Amino acid sequence: MIDKIKRIWKIKDLRARIFFVLAMLVVFRAAAHVPLPGINTENLKAFLDGNQILGLLNIFSGGTMENFSLVLLGIAPYITASIIFQLLTMVVPQLEELSKEGESGQQKINMYTRLATVPLALLQAFAMIKLLSQSQFDIMGTLDAFKYTSIMITITAGTIFLMWIGELISEKNIGNGISLLIFAGIVSSLPTVVQNAIVNYDPSQLYLYVMFVGLAIVTIVGVVIINEGQRNIPVSYAKQIRGNKTFGGNSSHLPLRVNMAGVIPIIFSISVVLFPSMLAQLFVNGSGFMASASRATIALFNNQWFYGIVYFLLVFGFTYFYTAVIFHPQKMAENLQRQGAFIPGIRPGKETEKYLQSTMSKLLFSGAFFLGAIAVLPLIVQAFTGSQSLVIGGTSLLIVVSVAIEMAKQIESQIKMHEYDRV
């Protein structure tokens, strides 16, 4: 480890890139602590503490909601826009053609994603202001048209600013900029978690702390194993004789990842499972049937068992859905046949397609179950320990570990490229 750090420090270009990324993350965290004027942050904290749904979003955003900062929404609108266009690429022929054009086509799709981020950010800012203004706490003060509009524009500008920072980070090839911003937001909440654990320390519950540390280590190891796990399908290439020379006959493998969908199913599921409660919050202070239905919806989703079961099933289902979107066994079978490759013991063509689909379905079950278990891990820990301060954020751990692994791989590749250039 120390040797690798020394190697990184000796490479001037790589060292400069890492420092730039760290500087951008510092800028992001500084912006997260700059509150918008006219907001009662104390009342806002009290409101978030009493609202499980918004409290979850606050933790996930790295405390930007709690401060009602310039970057209140984080990069959530950009992520939403990216997911929308990723799905549209699979169903809209024009976008599918763009995705096949290589780098130029991807740049156009990225431009459309950036443009879609603006109206999504404005819409989310409007919903957030509307929700906070209807709370029992005096958070927003008196809202007139000018204040409403200026806050919406400022919040949207903050999202665009973070989107720009994320792209600057991505250009340095140290890691994905958007993922690193989420990583920084999650990690920034760690000191608060540790502080709460120390403040609420009870010597009689020492076993809970030991169990928490052990469970955290096991969870991290499990995340690494599943995240990096893959099934290598053996592939052989047919021999071709041209004159006196023989071509082909080599063997390779086709990797099928256990967790092919990554964290996208969890992001989808969070959006879906939080939507009913967020929508109900807007009508809870009304009267009549809508108000009663809203209160019933909020109470239902505040039930830990109901929330956990629905969340798990959504993650499980979205894992299958998203994998079906990005995994095409028919195209893979056709490409293998076109290259003169085959899976030993399996006929090329339709039989290969069926084999790949069957193998992926078996892997997918374990991957989907793992993601679902990771998503509801905090609820499981709370149910067995009864502790609110000692909670392992499974989703947070998955994102942090995945981003850390990807960043380490990119840094390692940069070191190897530099060594090759020297040779």
Tokens of 410: 């990119």
pLDDT tens figures, 293-338: 877 877 777 777 888 888 889 888 888 887 877 787 888 888 888 8
pLDDT tens figures, 355-390: 888 888 888 888 888 888 887 877 777 776 665 555
Handedness of CA 54, 131, 185, 41 (dihedral sign): negative
pTM: 0.76
Round to whole Å and give the CA distance between 151 and 158: 11
Which DSSP string corresponds to 197-230?
HHHT--GGGHHHHHHHHHHHHHHHHHHHHHHH-E
Share of the chain above pLDDT 90, in %: 2
Say if residues 374 and 398 touch (Cβ distance below 8 Å): yes
| pLDDT of res. 94 | 83
Task: Domain 199-392: give its CATH superfamily.
Answer: SecY subunit domain (1.10.3370.10)
Mean pLDDT, the chain, rounded, equals 78
pLDDT tens figures, 136-182: 777 777 777 888 888 889 989 988 998 899 889 888 878 778 888 88
Element (H, E) at 231: strand 230-237
Q: Span 1-188: which CATH code?
A: 1.10.3370.10
Paired with 234 in beta bridges are 253
The CATH 1.10.3370.10 domain(s) of the chain lie at 1-188, 199-392
Q: Pick 242 or 8 by higher pLDDT.
A: 8
Round to whole Å and give the CA distance between 53 and 56: 5
Round to whole Å and give the CA distance between 21 and 401: 18
pLDDT beyond 70 at 246: no
Which DSSP string corresponds to 270-319?
HHHHHHHHHHHHHHTTS-SHHHHHHHHHHHHHHSHHHHHHHHHHHHHHHH
